[in-house]
Structure 1
Amino acid sequence: MSDTRRELAVRFATALGTRDEQALGELCTPDVSWTIPGTSEVSGRHEGVAGLVAVEAALAPHQIRPRLEALLHGPDSIVVLAHDTGDHRGRQLDIRVALHVQVRAGRIAALVSHMSDVEAFDSYLAP
């Protein structure tokens, strides 16, 4: 992966993890969106930096630990391959995630999550 794409991915992950709206606004297009499969509280399409921050805030209490497995890149995109695990409220999570990140003019324009077991993700996040 080019250093520029890797830097964008790292800066985005850091800004999202700390819910830094200012940094996310600089790294993302104004119409950024994140689409997540399933029926959980975070499933669906979330728009704008506020939508991304809301997803991260909703996920934080569930103590999901993503472990980066690979970063792949195409002409206008990055694919993040991760192994997500968690142990919260007596529930375990152990899934693979592919996050397709669309890049436009050097900024993140869209994210689409793909999961190895959407039902397990939904169950892990259930109230």
Structure 2
Amino acid sequence: MKTSNQNNNLPTDEEKLYLATTFLTALRDNEWDTMRAIIAPDAVWKLPGTSILSGLAEGADAIIRRAQGLKHFGVKFQLKDILYGLHGVTLSLHNTATRDNLILDEQVAIVCEINDGKIISMATYLSDVASINAFFIDGI
């Protein structure tokens, strides 16, 4: 595993692991200031679908509002794996939640691009977009 930061100012695997685990811990523990500290002010988070949480969240505050929205709906996040790339990391998750007679049971990949020690972009890939469209709706 490459751990040095020798050329092109690429993030090290240690930086990637730190940012990935810090993001997940902050999400789990509602530590929004901690989350804000690792996200670039102009970062973006893309989430597929047509739900109230879907689309483009632009900026750290919007990203945190989306994370808070996931928590509001009772989503539980189980880390399956952390996958390393050249410029970032991918979180492989199993997300679950229940509400009334709705069940969310989703395989999720969040691809995080890193620059200068911060997450600069996130893109979520889902196993079942239709289920989030039904689960994340107004009025909850």
Percent pairwise identity: 26
Q: What displacement does 1:107 show? A: 1.0
- Write the distance in 2 (CA, Å) between the matches of 1:105 and 1:28: 10
Q: C-alpha deviations, 1:6-32, integer Å up to 9, x for none?
A: 1111112223441523x3332122211
Partner of 1:29: 40
SS where residue 83 of structure 1 aligns? strand
| Alpha carbons 1:46, 1:52 under 8 Å: kept | yes
| Alpha carbons 2:36, 2:64 under 8 Å: kept | no
| Alpha carbons 2:16, 2:114 under 8 Å: kept | no
Structure of higher CA gyration radius: 2
Cα pair distance change 1:25/1:94, threshold 3 Å: closer
Partner of 2:130: 119
Counterpart of 2:132 in structure 1: which amino acid?
A: F
Q: What displacement does 1:103 show? A: 0.5
Q: Judge which range, 5-14 or 89-98, deviates more.
A: 5-14
- Is 2:68 the partner of 1:20? no
Unaligned runs of 5+ in 1: none
Give the structure-2-normalised TM-score: 0.82
Partner of 2:118: 107
- Is 2:58 the partner of 1:47? yes
Unaligned runs of 5+ in 2: 2-12
- Write the distance in 2 (CA, Å) between the matches of 1:25 and 1:95: 26
* Structure that is richer in strand per residue: 1
SS where residue 29 of structure 1 aligns? strand
Give the structure-1-normalised TM-score: 0.89
- Is 2:83 the partner of 1:81? no
* Structure that is richer in helix per residue: 1
- Write the distance in 2 (CA, Å) between the matches of 1:56 and 1:79: 17
